[in-house]
Amino acid sequence: MVFSNNDEGLINKKLPKELLLRMLFSLLLSFTWSNPECTKYVRSIGLDSFCNVAWNILALDGSNWQRIDLFNFQTDVEGRVVENISKRCGGFLRKLSLRGCIGVGDSSLKTFAQNCRNIEHLNLNGCTKITDSTCYSLSRFCSKLKHLDLTSCVSITNSSLKGISEGCQHLEYLNLSWCDQITKDGVEALVRGCRGLRALLLRGCSQLEDEALKHIQNYCHELVSLNLQSCSRVSDDGVVQLCRGCPRLQALCLSGCGSLTDASLTALALNCPRLQILEAARCSHLTDAGFTLLARNCHDLEKMDLEECILITDRTLTQLSIHCPKLQALLCKQEAMRGVTTSPWQVTATHLIG
């Protein structure tokens, strides 16, 4: 029997370790959801008291804990949980999500970084207690990091980006959304060291200007996805420079960059033929002429957000219909668009990138 005190139980000998571990996860989840008292096991990673010794050993084998997501337990997770995880898993851990774990701070993440030096994917979205100190720790110990999410970590500054660029040069994905202390100097420091970035999300980084895009253009030639939502200081000049240096762009969000004109659409059309997703909500100066050129050159377009692009008419929709056969989703408020009467696409959710 599985719960026999005899470690040589038949099921323990016959079933592979991976299947036993999956069964253990299912049982633990069932216990946790059916009995709130069991959250104490989450807080302390208290698997030591599990009734079968063989399963206990299996559960505490770090090689079985390569991916951990604590989002469902975010209100219960404190720093010591992260420290215990790092000690249990060590170099085996590859992916950890602490999204929403507001109780986790710099000290516990320093211990984590020291113990889990093979981490590749780390989500710290909403961990509002962390500061530049955490990024210094990641830079020093976690050189294999490829994916880092720092969304809403509002204490992060340019200093963090300098540290990341020096120690995490394999980074491919970085989300800095709503880190509003970031400026062009931080972006420059970042891209000088992390030239393999494929996705960079800067949503809500309101201090960024055209100079930041010029730095991205100079160093991030592999960039596929960029989110500049609400970066209202960005102008056509920055977008034009960006497009010239990043021809592989497939997804671009410019929503809320209200000063942009057709010059930006022209740059996209002439330099970024692989474009699949474009968000341009609240860019009220864009016209049919710009979208016509875009449609005729970017035939891979799949999703577009044109909400509050008040100068476009049915001409834009017609050109998209003719030249962009892959287009599946288009968002636009027809009552705000001059002369628009029909739309061949279903309206979708506003946020498409990141």
Of 60, 85, 102, the one marking the end of a domain is 60
**Is 342 contained in some domain?**
no
Cα–Cα distances (Å) from 212 to 10, 59, 92, 148, 171, in that order, read 63, 47, 37, 20, 18
Query: Do the domain assignments include residue 348?
Result: no
Question: In this structure, is residue 341 part of a structural domain?
Answer: no
CATH number at residue 302: 3.80.10.10
Same domain (yes/no): 121, 35: no
**pLDDT score of 1:** 36
Is residue 200 situated within a structural domain? yes
Residue 229 and residue 245 in one domain: yes
Phi, psi of 224 (to 5 degrees): -110, -35
18 in the same domain as 94: no
What does the alpha-carbon distance between residue 136 and residue 164 come to, in Å, rounded to a whole number? 7
Q: Which pLDDT score is estimated for 217? A: 97
Last residue of a domain, one of 35, 60, 85: 60
Q: In this predicted structure, what is the pLDDT of residue 16?
A: 61
Are 144 and 203 in a shared domain? yes
- 122's tokens: 């780390």
Query: Within this chain, do residues 276 and 196 fall inside the same structural domain, yes or no?
Result: yes
Q: In terms of domains, do 178 and 288 share one?
A: yes
Kindly provide the b/e burial profile for residues 177-202, where b requires at least 16 CB atoms within 10 angstroms of the residue's own CB: bbbbbbbbbbbbbbbbbbbebbbbbb
pLDDT the model gives residue 29: 44
3-class secondary structure, 121: strand
- Residue of 166, 221, 174, 163 lying closest to 193 (CA atoms): 166
Which residues have CB under 8 Å from 145's CB, separation 6+?
A: 119, 120, 121, 122, 138, 168, 170, 171
Last residue of some domain: 11, 35, 60? 60
> What's residue 75's pLDDT?
80
By CB atoms closer than 10 A (0-12, 13-18, 19+), residue 40 is: exposed
**33 and 110 fall within a common domain:** no
- Report if residue 171 sits inside a domain: yes
Same domain (yes/no): 15, 160 = no
Q: Domain range spanning residue 54? A: 1-60
Integer CA distances (angstroms), 117 to 25, 62, 306, 322, in order: 25, 14, 43, 51
What is the C-alpha to C-alpha distance for residues 202 and 159, in angstroms, rounded to an integer?
16
pTM higher than 0.75 for the full model? Answer: yes
Can you list the positions of beta strands (E) in the chain? Answer: 67-69, 95-97, 121-123, 147-149, 173-175, 199-201, 225-227, 251-253, 277-279, 303-305, 329-331
Taking the CA atoms of residue 136, residue 137, residue 143 and residue 144 in that order, the dihedral angle to the nearest 10 degrees is -120
What is the count of structural domains for the chain? 2
| Spacing of C-alpha 249 from chain mean position | 16
- Dist. CA 350–CA 284, nearest whole Å: 16
Q: Are residues 122 and 6 in the same domain?
A: no
Residue 350 lies in a domain: no
Residue 136 is assigned to a structural domain of this protein: yes
Same domain, 304 and 156: yes
55 and 75 inside one domain: no
Q: Is the domain of 37 the same as that of 157?
A: no
Is the residue at 346 inside a domain?
Answer: no
Q: For residues 109 and 124, what is the distance between their CA atoms, to the nearest angstrom? A: 10
Spatial separation of the C-alpha atoms in residues 252 and 247, rounded to whole Å: 12
The residue ranges of the chain whose pLDDT is under 70 are 1-64, 333-354
